[in-house]
Structure 1
Amino acid sequence: MKPGYQQTELGLIPDDWTLAFLGELGTVVRGGSPRPAGDPRYFNGSYIPWLTVGSLTNIPSSQLFVTDTTTMLTEEGAKHSRTLQAGTLVIVNSGAKTLGVAKILSITCCANDGIAALINQRSGDKQFICYFLNGQIRRLREVVAAGNDQLNLNTGRIALIAIPFPSEAEQKAIAQALTDVDALLGALDQLIEKKRNLKQAAMQQLFTGKTRLPGFHGEWTLRRLGDIGATYGGLTGKTKADFGEGEARYIAFMNVVTNVVIDCGTFERVKVSSQDSQNRVRKGDLFFNGSSETPEEVGMCAVLLDDVQDVYLNSFCFGFRLRDGEQAEGLFMAYYLRSTIGRELMKSLAQGSTRYNLSKVALLNLSLRFPTLPEQTAIAKVLNEIDAELTTLEQRRDKTHALKQGMIQELLTGRTRLV
């Protein structure tokens, strides 16, 4: 055992720390939901904020405090719930994907029965406890919670959750260090959101022609896609055994759906023999997902900008190849078809009721407005540069989040001391 440390149910902690149970720090209670759910006598009122599991877990992980809710109760509804005062620590007590999330109330509100609270708290820094609980979510779900399909933490189990307990000064120092990192994460999230909004606004202005880049003028030309290119299908005749093996590679479904530009670093392996009649992808090709559960997500467009060899397309998507010499820029088209204007066009082509499909024929009959090729290239460059800035910010946020997780492991176990 490391000198100066003691073995506990939470692992090694410093000798000068103790273990405390949540139930020793205050009283654990459960929220209450008025019944029946949706009764207008109780819900959609204006008397007091109504905290649900959904509104609590939608708060970013970098935000420790609950500052508002999405709905409110009536005065009668409040009588059938539990009112919690500002400053109370709350924890989600149910749900496989939500159980264990902890926050601190900045408002007085009522909470539903999927939320527990630590009231009449006598000791312990709330932020320190909150950070510890959020760092223990996996353990709470796998070890502490009851149930299989319907995980839950009753008040008795929550009261017996052990907390490492350094001095109050050290608790505050640890909480402050993690708060500083959360502030940085929050600032990065705001910057990313601002940049995304800027991109959407730029797309709206540029693809409607309301804003023209310097040096460009003249009318845009309406062109039918079937007149400038042709479609082709993805892999056919493959079984499960063909995937994950072989020397050939293929572009996965999510690579098309989530990216404007195909990520060539995530190709997956597939067996394709020399006798197979399959369509190889080529630089400049556009790809579309042919079906989706909603019309808003059908026909998402991505473009391949790299030279690749022996690469194919998954069977749930299809490709579009521009004819040689056509005055059309693939990256421009991909951004166009992912813009608000483009998505409305693609949505109008979706067919179905429970699952929506996009046919190759429908796509080929679609007409788009094209500026000159130099203007297409210039517009694509502007949007691509914004995307590059977004990627840099997202990578920085991910690294900061990883740093926070490392700090939680170090600080909340006492391996690194601040006091």
Structure 2
Amino acid sequence: MVTKAEIPEGYKQTEVGVIPKDWETDKIRNLTSITTGAKNTQDKVDDGDYPFFVRSSIIERINSYSFDGEAVLTAGDGVGTGKIYHYINGKFDFHQRVYKISDFSEKLNGYYFYLFFSNNFYSRIMSMTAKSSVDSVRREMIADMLISFPPKKAEQEAIAEMLSDTDALIESLEKLIAKRRNIKRGAMQQLLTGKKRLPGFGVVNGKSVGYKQTEIGMIPKDWDVVMLGDCLAKNPEYGINAPAVPFSDNLSVYIRITDISDDGRFLPEKKTSVDHARANKYLLELGDVVLARTGASTGKSYLYNPKDGELVFAGFLIRCKTKENKLYSQYLKQFLGTHIYWNWVRVMSMRSGQPGINGNEYAQLPLPLPPTKAEQTAITQVLSDMDAEIESLEQKRDKYKAIKQGMMQKLLTGRIRLV
């Protein structure tokens, strides 16, 4: 609670925080109408005529619409509860467990409401539960929420326009990132199977060396299919079986399955440490690749990056040390993102009925391998350059997201006035 002495001149303390004296507060029930849909997820139609909002950030399609106008939608239950919000102005349909907030009062701009609601509703519902997540949203949770807003529609519209422009910039970057990822996926499938050869490779006396059929498909005649185990300096190693402890600068950082992103990056946001007498034996070194061996994350991988600091790998990970003169670790990293690899993971996991691949099984992973280290390096360089471009775009997007968040905190509380 802000003390009276801390309230700036021209502002007032309210249930929603400190806001300008001329701003209003009211419950959502008094400013909008709130309803749920009548459709189920199976009602979706590929390439349907209208947007279909389900309990997901993904917008499906459908051939019917039940509403035509401006609305804000949020999931009523499921994994996205309190975290998924959509704004639309047009024809659409929506799931029976999705809330539609519409018919905005004359004194409330719809997009301003979307910004305020999506920025504040999650913290509201989390304050109403003792658990770490919310299973479902009741209508009253939305209806009884207080919102604050400028009395002049022009100021709401100015706030909405400024943040909408930032949203549009972020969305354009998201689309560009998705496009670059698709291009990279295509390049991986072409380069890592030899369907496309880089200049200087695959030509003898001016002619292509041709292709041959193998157990993993067509590859160049001068390539081989090798087992991962034959390219390792030592047998695959299991990580340390030790509990995580709170992060400490005096201990090594622990890397577990949950600390690896789907695209193979270390996630430092929730760092923990490991305190064990033999921890140093499990420190990752340059060129080490770790693979997840159990659960839904089976197959996930990470190539150690010294920039991530000292990392000790956990027991549900398996370390592979490649013979660098035979298999470039960066090449292996890129291969572990291909359809060939993930199809192999699915097949191996299904054999036992439980998702999981052990060290001996990983050693049997078939790899299409160019005949020279030079070609492996050239392929890796092309794909790594694409990764760097994608990462740069992601950093730019995240920067704009942070800027937007800062702007929202000030604009939606009246700390910055636009009118």
Q: Would you say same fold, with TM above 0.5? A: yes
Cα separation, partners in 2 of 1:118 and 1:252, compared to 1, 3 Å: same
Which whole-Å CA distance do the structure 1 matches of 2:321 and 2:398 have between them? 36
> 1:254 and 1:213, CA in 2 relative to 1: closer, same or farther beyond 3 A?
farther
Out of 265, 288, 291, the position equivalent to 1:288 is 291
**Residue range with higher mean Cα deviation, 265-274 or 4-13:** 265-274
Would you say the 8 A contact 1:104–1:130 is kept in 2? no
Per the normalisation by structure 1, the TM-score is: 0.79
Percent of pairs identical after alignment? Answer: 26
> Deviation at 1:52?
4.4
Deviation per residue, 1:183-206 (Å, 9 max, x gap): 100111011101111110110110
**Equivalent in the alignment of 1:115:** 99
Residues 279 and 155 (structure 1), Cα distance of their counterparts in 2 relative to 1, 3 Å cut: closer
SS of the residue aligned with 1:127?
helix
Deviation of 1:259 after TM superposition, in Å, equals: 5.0
1:231 aligns with 2:235: yes
Matched, 1:87 2:70: yes
3-state secondary structure, aligned to 2:116: helix
Indicate yes or no: 2:20 matched with 1:6: no
- Looking at structure 1, the residues matched to 76 and 251 of structure 2 have their Cα atoms a distance apart, in angstroms, of 48
Structure 1 distance, partners of 2:49, 2:247, is 55
Q: Which residue of 1 aligns with 2:24?
A: 18
For structure 2, the 5+ residue unaligned runs are: 1-6, 203-208, 210-221
CA offset digits 1:40-89 (Å, max 9, x no partner): 9xx5689995844425x435xxxxxxxxx43456xxxx8xxxx3222244
Q: Partner of 1:33 in structure 2?
A: 38
Q: Give SS of 1:410's match.
A: helix
Query: Aligned partners of 1:223 and 1:343: how far apart in 2?
Result: 17
Q: Secondary structure at the match of 2:81?
A: coil
Distance of 1:24 and 1:180 partners within structure 2 = 29
1:379 is displaced (CA, Å) by: 0.8
Q: 1:142 aligns with which of 126, 129, 140?
A: 126
1:367 aligns with 2:366: yes
The match for 1:106 among 90, 107, 127 is 90
1:132 aligns with: 116
Q: CA RMSD in A?
A: 3.7
| Alpha-carbon distance change, 29 to 370 in structure 1, aligned in 2, over 3 angstroms | closer
Q: Any residues of structure 2 matched to 1:11-410 within 5 Å, and which?
A: 11-26=17-32, 28-33=33-38, 43=43, 51-54=52-55, 57-58=57-58, 69-72=60-63, 83-93=66-76, 97-99=80-82, 101=85, 103-109=87-93, 112-119=96-103, 121-143=105-127, 150-154=135-139, 158=143, 161-217=146-202, 219-229=222-232, 230-239=234-243, 247-256=251-260, 258=262, 260=264, 268-273=272-277, 278-293=281-296, 297-304=297-304, 306=306, 312-323=312-323, 326-352=325-351, 355-371=354-370, 372-410=372-410
Q: Counterpart amino acid of 2:112?
A: F
C-alpha distance in 1, partners of 2:18/2:328? 60
In structure 1, C-alpha distance between the alignment counterparts of 2:307 and 2:68, rounded to whole Å: 61
Matches of 1:394 and 1:342, distance apart in 2: 25
Amino acid at match of 1:54: R
Q: Which moved more, 1:44-53 or 1:250-259?
A: 44-53
* Inter-partner Cα distance in structure 2 for 1:266 and 1:17: 39
Out of 379-388 and 93-102, give the one that drifted further: 93-102
> Does the CA contact (< 8 Å) of 1:30 and 1:155 recur in 2?
no
* Counterpart code for 1:33: A
* Distance in 2 (alpha carbons) for counterparts of 1:123 and 1:265: 41
* Alpha-carbon distance between aligned partners in 2 of 1:226 and 1:339, rounded to the nearest angstrom: 19
The answer to whether the 8 A contact 1:125-1:171 is kept is yes
Task: Tell me what 1:65 maps to.
Answer: none
Deviations 1:21-58 (A, max 9, x none): 434434x2423437xx69x9xx5689995844425x43
SS at structure 2 position matched to 1:129? helix
Confirm or deny: 8 A CA contact 1:243 1:271 kept in the other structure: no
Structure 1: gaps spanning 5 or more residues? 60-68
Q: How many residues were matched structurally? A: 390
**Contact 1:146/1:152 (CA < 8 Å) preserved in 2?**
no
CA distance in 1, matches of 2:377, 2:37: 58
Contact 2:71 2:103 in 1 (8 A): yes
Amino acid paired to 2:55: G
- State the Cα distance separating 1:265 from its structure 2 match: 10
Residue deviations 1:198-232 (CA, integer Å, cap 9, x gap): 11011011012121111112521232333232323
